[in-house]
Amino acid sequence: MFSKGVARRALQLQPTLLAKRTKVTLPDLDWDFGALEPHISGKINEIHYTKHHQTYVNGLNAAVGQFEELKTKLDSDPSISKQLVALQQNIKFHGGGFTNHNLFWKNLAPPSQGGGEPPSGALAKQIEAQFGSLDKLISLTNTKLAGIQGSGWAFIVKNLENGGQLEVVQTYNQDTVTGSLKPLVAIDAWEHAYYLQYQNQKADYFKAIWNVINWKEAAKRFDAAA
C-alpha cells in the first residue's frame, strides 16, 4: 500500500499536471500584413489574423479545457455526456478554423518571396498530367469556390487512396480535410477574407489570390504526403 505521504504528493501533483495541458496559439507569419498588397490588403490580413484566427484559437482552447474538466465528472454524473457532445461540436468548429487558417497563412507569400510563381517538381508534373495546365486547375478551383453558398473553403488535395491524384474539395463553415486527403492549398471563402476590399465581388478575390499563392509550400506538402 502507498504511504499517506506518497498519496499526498500524488494529489499535489494532479493540479500541476492538468495545468500543463498544451494550448494552441497563433502561428508566426512569414511576412508583414501589408506584404500581399494590392491583391489582399494589409487591413484584411491584420483583422483576419488578429481577430478571426484568434477567435478560433480562443474557442478551441476553451472547448478542450471544458471537455477535459467535464470528462473527469462523467463517472459520477452520466448526464454530463450531453454537454460533452455539445462541446465536441465546438471543438470541431474551432479546431477546423484553427487548422484551416494555419494552412491558409502558409499558402500565401508576397511575390518577393515567390508568391504566384508556378510550382515545379513532382507537383508540377502531376498538375500537367491531370489537368493539362496550372491555369485549368486554378479555373476548376475558382469554380468550386464560387459554388460555396455561404461560408466555406476550397482545398487542393492529394488523395492517397486514389494513387496520389489531385482533387479540389469544397467544405462548409470550418470543416477541414482529414485522413487520406492531404491538403496542398487551402483558400478561405468566408466573407471576412475579402469583403473589406472586394465587397460583394468575391470572384475578383478568388482571381487575385493566385498572385500570392505559395506553390513552393504546396509542392513541399505534395512531396511529404505519403
- The predicted model gives 19-47 an average pLDDT of 92
What is the separation, in whole angstroms, between the first and last Cα of the chain? Answer: 49
- The CATH code that applies to domain 111-224 is 3.55.40.20
Instruction: Report whether pLDDT(15) > 60.
Output: no
**Peptide bond preceding 27: is omega within 30 degrees of 0, i.e. cis?**
no
Q: Which pLDDT score, from 0 to 100, does residue 86 have? A: 81
* pLDDT, tens only, 51-108: 999 999 999 999 998 878 777 766 666 677 777 788 889 999 999 999 999 999 999 9
Percent of the chain with pLDDT over 90: 79
CA nearest 189: which of 153, 149, 137? Answer: 153
Phi, psi of 186 (to 5 degrees): -125, 125
Binding site listing:
48, 101, 188, 192
Q: How far is CA 84 from CA 17, 20, 110, 179, in A?
A: 22, 21, 42, 24
Annotated binding-site positions for Mn(2+): 48, 101, 188, 192
pLDDT band for position 7 (cuts 50, 70, 90):
very low
